[in-house]
Protein backbone atom coordinates (compact mmCIF):
# COMPACT_ATOMS: atom_id res chain seq x y z
CA UNK A 1 0.00 0.00 0.00
CA UNK A 2 1.39 3.40 -0.94
CA UNK A 3 1.91 5.82 1.92
CA UNK A 4 0.34 9.29 2.06
CA UNK A 5 1.11 12.53 3.82
CA UNK A 6 -1.90 14.85 3.96
CA UNK A 7 -0.99 18.52 4.50
CA UNK A 8 -3.98 20.51 5.74
CA UNK A 9 -6.89 19.29 7.80
CA UNK A 10 -9.85 21.03 6.20
CA UNK A 11 -12.89 19.13 4.94
CA UNK A 12 -11.12 17.85 1.81
CA UNK A 13 -8.00 16.62 3.53
CA UNK A 14 -9.94 14.97 6.34
CA UNK A 15 -12.45 13.27 4.07
CA UNK A 16 -10.09 11.69 1.53
CA UNK A 17 -7.27 11.15 4.03
CA UNK A 18 -9.63 9.24 6.32
CA UNK A 19 -10.79 7.10 3.46
CA UNK A 20 -7.21 6.25 2.49
CA UNK A 21 -6.37 5.43 6.12
CA UNK A 22 -9.49 3.28 6.48
CA UNK A 23 -8.49 1.39 3.33
CA UNK A 24 -5.18 0.52 4.95
CA UNK A 25 -2.78 3.11 3.55
CA UNK A 26 -0.26 4.54 6.00
CA UNK A 27 -1.42 8.17 6.33
CA UNK A 28 0.56 10.93 8.01
CA UNK A 29 -1.02 14.28 8.84
CA UNK A 30 0.68 17.64 8.81
CA UNK A 31 -1.62 20.23 10.34
CA UNK A 32 -1.14 23.78 11.50
CA UNK A 33 -4.00 23.92 13.96
CA UNK A 34 -6.03 21.25 15.72
CA UNK A 35 -3.12 18.80 15.90
CA UNK A 36 -3.64 18.11 19.59
CA UNK A 37 -7.35 17.47 19.14
CA UNK A 38 -6.64 15.03 16.31
CA UNK A 39 -4.00 13.20 18.36
CA UNK A 40 -6.39 12.97 21.29
CA UNK A 41 -9.64 12.12 19.54
CA UNK A 42 -8.79 10.75 16.11
CA UNK A 43 -10.93 11.56 13.10
CA UNK A 44 -14.60 11.33 12.42
CA UNK A 45 -16.36 11.59 9.06
CA UNK A 46 -20.11 12.02 9.27
CA UNK A 47 -20.97 10.96 5.78
CA UNK A 48 -23.96 10.38 3.55
CA UNK A 49 -22.05 7.27 2.45
CA UNK A 50 -21.74 5.94 6.00
CA UNK A 51 -19.75 7.30 8.93
CA UNK A 52 -16.06 6.63 9.31
CA UNK A 53 -13.82 6.78 12.37
CA UNK A 54 -10.03 6.73 12.69
CA UNK A 55 -9.06 6.05 16.28
CA UNK A 56 -6.57 8.29 18.05
CA UNK A 57 -4.11 5.43 18.44
CA UNK A 58 -3.88 5.14 14.65
CA UNK A 59 -3.13 8.84 14.09
CA UNK A 60 0.27 10.03 12.93
CA UNK A 61 0.11 13.82 13.34
CA UNK A 62 2.92 16.32 12.77
CA UNK A 63 3.02 20.04 13.37
CA UNK A 64 6.11 20.47 11.24
CA UNK A 65 6.33 19.06 7.71
CA UNK A 66 10.01 18.29 8.15
CA UNK A 67 9.15 15.82 10.93
CA UNK A 68 6.87 13.70 8.71
CA UNK A 69 8.45 10.55 7.29
CA UNK A 70 8.85 10.30 3.53
CA UNK A 71 5.61 9.20 1.86
CA UNK A 72 4.95 8.02 -1.66
CA UNK A 73 2.32 10.72 -2.13
CA UNK A 74 1.93 14.14 -0.50
CA UNK A 75 -1.61 15.55 -0.67
CA UNK A 76 -1.79 19.35 -0.67
CA UNK A 77 -5.11 20.02 1.04
CA UNK A 78 -4.39 23.59 2.13
CA UNK A 79 -6.52 26.52 1.09
CA UNK A 80 -4.94 28.31 -1.86
CA UNK A 81 -4.74 31.41 0.32
CA UNK A 82 -1.69 29.72 1.89
CA UNK A 83 -0.01 29.11 -1.48
CA UNK A 84 2.57 31.87 -1.03
CA UNK A 85 4.07 29.65 1.66
CA UNK A 86 3.85 26.30 -0.14
CA UNK A 87 7.61 25.76 -0.13
CA UNK A 88 7.69 26.05 3.67
CA UNK A 89 4.38 24.43 4.52
CA UNK A 90 4.60 21.42 2.22
CA UNK A 91 8.10 21.27 0.70
CA UNK A 92 9.90 19.60 3.65
CA UNK A 93 7.38 16.73 3.58
CA UNK A 94 8.11 15.94 -0.07
CA UNK A 95 10.89 13.38 -0.60
CA UNK A 96 12.84 13.25 -3.85
CA UNK A 97 10.67 11.66 -6.50
CA UNK A 98 7.46 11.68 -4.46
CA UNK A 99 4.15 12.42 -6.10
CA UNK A 100 2.47 15.65 -5.00
CA UNK A 101 -1.32 15.59 -5.41
CA UNK A 102 -2.90 19.05 -5.41
CA UNK A 103 -6.42 18.87 -3.92
CA UNK A 104 -7.15 22.59 -4.39
CA UNK A 105 -9.55 24.84 -6.25
CA UNK A 106 -8.73 27.26 -8.99
CA UNK A 107 -6.25 27.74 -11.77
CA UNK A 108 -2.48 27.66 -11.72
CA UNK A 109 -2.21 25.75 -8.46
CA UNK A 110 -0.15 22.87 -9.89
CA UNK A 111 2.33 25.30 -11.45
CA UNK A 112 2.87 26.89 -8.04
CA UNK A 113 3.45 23.47 -6.48
CA UNK A 114 5.81 22.44 -9.24
CA UNK A 115 7.80 25.64 -8.72
CA UNK A 116 7.88 25.34 -4.94
CA UNK A 117 8.81 21.62 -4.91
CA UNK A 118 11.28 20.88 -7.68
CA UNK A 119 12.22 17.60 -5.97
CA UNK A 120 8.72 16.16 -6.60
CA UNK A 121 8.65 13.26 -9.06
CA UNK A 122 5.20 14.09 -10.39
CA UNK A 123 2.56 16.74 -9.79
CA UNK A 124 -1.05 15.58 -10.04
CA UNK A 125 -4.04 17.89 -9.97
CA UNK A 126 -7.16 16.59 -8.25
CA UNK A 127 -10.63 18.10 -8.36
CA UNK A 128 -13.21 17.08 -5.79
CA UNK A 129 -16.89 17.31 -6.63
CA UNK A 130 -18.11 17.12 -3.10
CA UNK A 131 -20.20 18.96 -0.53
CA UNK A 132 -18.32 18.76 2.74
CA UNK A 133 -17.53 21.08 5.64
CA UNK A 134 -15.16 20.77 8.53
CA UNK A 135 -17.21 20.90 11.71
CA UNK A 136 -14.25 21.16 14.08
CA UNK A 137 -10.72 19.80 14.41
CA UNK A 138 -10.84 16.22 13.14
CA UNK A 139 -14.56 16.17 12.43
CA UNK A 140 -15.97 16.58 8.94
CA UNK A 141 -19.55 16.58 7.66
CA UNK A 142 -19.79 14.98 4.24
CA UNK A 143 -23.14 16.08 2.84
CA UNK A 144 -23.26 15.02 -0.77
CA UNK A 145 -21.34 13.74 -3.80
CA UNK A 146 -17.64 12.94 -3.49
CA UNK A 147 -16.21 12.13 -6.93
CA UNK A 148 -12.62 13.05 -7.73
CA UNK A 149 -11.04 13.60 -11.13
CA UNK A 150 -7.29 13.75 -11.49
CA UNK A 151 -4.71 14.38 -14.16
CA UNK A 152 -1.01 15.09 -14.34
CA UNK A 153 0.51 18.52 -14.65
CA UNK A 154 2.93 19.41 -17.40
CA UNK A 155 5.60 16.83 -18.09
CA UNK A 156 4.75 14.59 -15.13
CA UNK A 157 4.40 10.85 -15.80
CA UNK A 158 0.70 10.11 -16.42
CA UNK A 159 1.01 6.95 -14.34
CA UNK A 160 1.19 9.14 -11.22
CA UNK A 161 -2.44 10.17 -11.79
CA UNK A 162 -3.48 6.61 -12.56
CA UNK A 163 -1.95 5.40 -9.30
CA UNK A 164 -3.75 8.09 -7.30
CA UNK A 165 -7.05 7.30 -8.94
CA UNK A 166 -6.53 3.58 -8.30
CA UNK A 167 -5.89 4.23 -4.62
CA UNK A 168 -9.01 6.42 -4.37
CA UNK A 169 -11.16 3.82 -6.11
CA UNK A 170 -9.81 1.36 -3.55
CA UNK A 171 -11.37 3.55 -0.82
CA UNK A 172 -14.77 3.41 -2.47
CA UNK A 173 -14.40 6.87 -4.00
CA UNK A 174 -15.66 7.44 -7.52
CA UNK A 175 -12.47 8.59 -9.22
CA UNK A 176 -11.56 9.13 -12.84
CA UNK A 177 -8.55 10.15 -14.89
CA UNK A 178 -8.68 13.30 -16.98
CA UNK A 179 -6.51 13.39 -20.06
CA UNK A 180 -6.32 17.19 -20.04
CA UNK A 181 -5.90 18.74 -16.62
CA UNK A 182 -6.39 22.30 -17.90
CA UNK A 183 -9.79 21.43 -19.35
CA UNK A 184 -10.79 19.80 -16.08
CA UNK A 185 -9.65 22.86 -14.10
CA UNK A 186 -11.74 25.16 -16.31
CA UNK A 187 -14.75 22.86 -16.03
CA UNK A 188 -14.52 23.05 -12.26
CA UNK A 189 -14.35 26.85 -12.49
CA UNK A 190 -17.65 26.84 -14.36
CA UNK A 191 -19.25 25.94 -11.04
CA UNK A 192 -16.87 27.64 -8.62
CA UNK A 193 -16.85 31.09 -10.19
CA UNK A 194 -20.58 31.84 -9.97
CA UNK A 195 -21.49 30.03 -6.78
CA UNK A 196 -18.55 30.87 -4.56
CA UNK A 197 -18.63 34.58 -5.30
CA UNK A 198 -22.37 35.19 -5.36
CA UNK A 199 -22.93 33.16 -2.20
CA UNK A 200 -20.58 35.53 -0.36
CA UNK A 201 -21.76 38.78 -1.93
CA UNK A 202 -25.47 38.05 -1.62
CA UNK A 203 -25.32 35.95 1.54
CA UNK A 204 -27.18 33.12 -0.14
CA UNK A 205 -26.99 29.38 -0.66
CA UNK A 206 -27.11 27.67 -4.06
CA UNK A 207 -30.86 27.00 -3.96
CA UNK A 208 -31.69 30.67 -3.32
CA UNK A 209 -29.37 31.85 -6.11
CA UNK A 210 -30.95 29.45 -8.60
CA UNK A 211 -34.48 30.03 -7.32
CA UNK A 212 -34.56 33.73 -8.21
CA UNK A 213 -34.75 34.45 -11.95
CA UNK A 214 -32.30 37.37 -11.77
CA UNK A 215 -29.49 35.45 -10.09
CA UNK A 216 -30.21 32.26 -12.02
CA UNK A 217 -29.61 34.36 -15.14
CA UNK A 218 -26.46 35.89 -13.65
CA UNK A 219 -25.11 32.46 -12.68
CA UNK A 220 -25.70 31.30 -16.26
CA UNK A 221 -23.98 34.41 -17.64
CA UNK A 222 -20.96 33.89 -15.39
CA UNK A 223 -20.77 30.25 -16.51
CA UNK A 224 -20.95 31.35 -20.15
CA UNK A 225 -18.08 33.76 -19.63
CA UNK A 226 -15.92 31.04 -18.07
CA UNK A 227 -16.76 28.57 -20.84
CA UNK A 228 -16.01 31.22 -23.46
CA UNK A 229 -12.65 32.01 -21.90
CA UNK A 230 -11.73 28.33 -21.58
CA UNK A 231 -12.39 27.77 -25.26
CA UNK A 232 -10.58 30.96 -26.25
CA UNK A 233 -7.59 29.75 -24.23
CA UNK A 234 -7.62 26.47 -26.16
CA UNK A 235 -9.26 24.28 -23.52
CA UNK A 236 -12.40 22.83 -25.08
CA UNK A 237 -15.45 23.00 -22.82
CA UNK A 238 -18.82 22.32 -24.42
CA UNK A 239 -21.26 25.24 -24.39
CA UNK A 240 -24.04 23.08 -22.95
CA UNK A 241 -21.88 22.20 -19.94
CA UNK A 242 -23.56 25.23 -18.40
CA UNK A 243 -26.96 23.54 -18.46
CA UNK A 244 -25.46 20.39 -17.02
CA UNK A 245 -23.98 22.37 -14.12
CA UNK A 246 -27.25 24.21 -13.48
CA UNK A 247 -29.16 20.92 -13.43
CA UNK A 248 -26.58 19.30 -11.13
CA UNK A 249 -26.84 22.21 -8.72
CA UNK A 250 -30.64 22.20 -8.83
CA UNK A 251 -30.46 18.57 -7.73
CA UNK A 252 -28.14 19.34 -4.80
CA UNK A 253 -29.30 19.99 -1.27
CA UNK A 254 -29.06 23.76 -0.51
CA UNK A 255 -25.35 24.36 -0.23
CA UNK A 256 -23.06 27.04 1.17
CA UNK A 257 -19.86 26.98 -0.92
CA UNK A 258 -16.53 26.95 0.89
CA UNK A 259 -15.85 30.61 0.14
CA UNK A 260 -19.02 31.60 1.99
CA UNK A 261 -17.98 29.59 5.04
CA UNK A 262 -14.46 31.01 4.86
CA UNK A 263 -15.79 34.55 4.74
CA UNK A 264 -18.29 34.01 7.54
CA UNK A 265 -15.56 32.37 9.58
CA UNK A 266 -13.34 35.43 9.20
CA UNK A 267 -10.85 33.58 6.99
CA UNK A 268 -9.45 35.02 3.75
CA UNK A 269 -11.15 33.95 0.52
CA UNK A 270 -9.57 32.04 -2.37
CA UNK A 271 -9.90 34.99 -4.75
CA UNK A 272 -6.51 34.63 -6.39
CA UNK A 273 -6.90 31.01 -7.51
CA UNK A 274 -10.61 31.09 -8.37
CA UNK A 275 -10.86 34.60 -9.88
CA UNK A 276 -7.58 36.39 -10.54
CA UNK A 277 -5.81 33.52 -12.30
CA UNK A 278 -8.75 32.72 -14.64
CA UNK A 279 -9.30 36.44 -15.34
CA UNK A 280 -5.65 36.82 -16.29
CA UNK A 281 -5.81 33.75 -18.53
CA UNK A 282 -9.04 34.98 -20.15
CA UNK A 283 -7.54 38.39 -20.84
CA UNK A 284 -4.44 36.82 -22.39
CA UNK A 285 -6.73 34.69 -24.58
CA UNK A 286 -8.60 37.80 -25.75
CA UNK A 287 -11.84 36.76 -24.04
CA UNK A 288 -12.32 39.09 -21.06
CA UNK A 289 -14.98 38.09 -18.52
CA UNK A 290 -16.59 41.40 -17.44
CA UNK A 291 -19.22 39.97 -15.10
CA UNK A 292 -16.66 37.68 -13.48
CA UNK A 293 -14.40 40.72 -13.04
CA UNK A 294 -17.23 42.64 -11.36
CA UNK A 295 -17.79 39.76 -8.92
CA UNK A 296 -14.05 39.57 -8.23
CA UNK A 297 -13.89 43.29 -7.46
CA UNK A 298 -16.79 42.96 -5.05
CA UNK A 299 -15.10 40.03 -3.32
CA UNK A 300 -11.86 41.98 -3.01
CA UNK A 301 -13.80 44.75 -1.30
CA UNK A 302 -15.37 42.32 1.17
CA UNK A 303 -12.05 40.53 1.70
CA UNK A 304 -10.32 43.85 2.31
CA UNK A 305 -12.86 44.69 4.97
CA UNK A 306 -12.01 41.40 6.63
CA UNK A 307 -8.34 42.36 6.65
CA UNK A 308 -9.11 45.82 8.02
CA UNK A 309 -11.36 44.35 10.70
CA UNK A 310 -8.55 42.01 11.69
CA UNK A 311 -6.10 44.83 12.02
CA UNK A 312 -8.31 46.92 14.21
CA UNK A 313 -9.22 44.04 16.45
Strand partners, 101: 75, 124
Nearer residue to a copy of itself within complex by CB, 2 or 216: 216
- The dihedral formed by the CA atoms of 116, 120, 123 and 127, expressed in degrees to the nearest 10: -80
Q: Which stretch, 56-64, 126-134, 199-207, 226-234, contacts a copy of itself (CB under 8 A)? A: 199-207
Nearer residue to a copy of itself within complex by CB, 11 or 200: 200
Residue 117 to residue 114: CA distance in whole angstroms: 5
Q: Which stretch, 21-29, 37-45, 148-156, 198-206, contacts a copy of itself (CB under 8 A)? A: 198-206
Active site residue 260: no
CB of 193 to a copy of itself, least distance (A): 12
| 166 part of the interface to a copy of itself, by CB under 8 A | no
Residue 85 to residue 75: CA distance in whole angstroms: 15
Site for a copy of itself in 208-237 (CB under 8 A): 209, 212-215, 217-218, 221
Residue 260 to residue 266: CA distance in whole angstroms: 10
How would you write 32-47 as a 3-class SS string?
A: CCCHHHHHHHCEEEEE
Residue 215 to residue 175: CA distance in whole angstroms: 32
Q: Which of 243, 290, 309, 310 binds a copy of itself (CB under 8 A)?
A: 290
Q: Which of 284, 273, 192 is nearest to 233 (CA)?
A: 284
Nearer residue to a copy of itself within complex by CB, 42 or 194: 194
CB of 276 to a copy of itself, least distance (A): 11
| 198 part of the interface to a copy of itself, by CB under 8 A | yes
CB of 304 to a copy of itself, least distance (A): 5
CB of 82 to a copy of itself, least distance (A): 21
Catalytic residue (choose from 79, 188, 260, 291): 188
CB of 183 to a copy of itself, least distance (A): 25
CB of 289 to a copy of itself, least distance (A): 9
DSSP state letters, 238-281: -TTHHHHHHHHHHHSPP---HHHHHHHTTPPP-HIIIIIHHHHH
Residue 68 to residue 48: CA distance in whole angstroms: 31
Site for a copy of itself in 292-311 (CB under 8 A): 293-302, 304
Q: Which of 169, 202, 285, 287 binds a copy of itself (CB under 8 A)?
A: 202
What contacts 24+ positions apart, CB below 8 Å, involve 254-257? 254/205, 254/206, 254/207, 254/208, 255/131, 255/143, 255/144, 255/195, 255/205, 255/206, 255/207, 256/133, 256/199, 256/205, 256/206, 257/192, 257/195, 257/196, 257/199, 257/206
Contact flags string 239-278 toward a copy of itself, x per CB under 8 A: ----------------------------------------
Strand partners, 4: 27, 73
| Residues noted as catalytic | 188
> Could you list the residues that contact a copy of itself (CB under 8 A)?
198, 201-202, 204, 209, 212-215, 217-218, 221, 290-291, 293-302, 304
Amino acid sequence: MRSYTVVGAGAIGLLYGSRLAAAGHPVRWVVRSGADEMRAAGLEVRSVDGDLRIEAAAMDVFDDPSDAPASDVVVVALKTTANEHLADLVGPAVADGATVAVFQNGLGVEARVRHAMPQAGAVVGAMCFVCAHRRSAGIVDHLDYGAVTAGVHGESDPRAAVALVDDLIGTGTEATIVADLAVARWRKLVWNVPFNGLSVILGATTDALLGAPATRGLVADLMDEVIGAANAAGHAVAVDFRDEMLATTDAMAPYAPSMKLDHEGGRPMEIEAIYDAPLDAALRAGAPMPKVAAVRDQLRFLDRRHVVADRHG
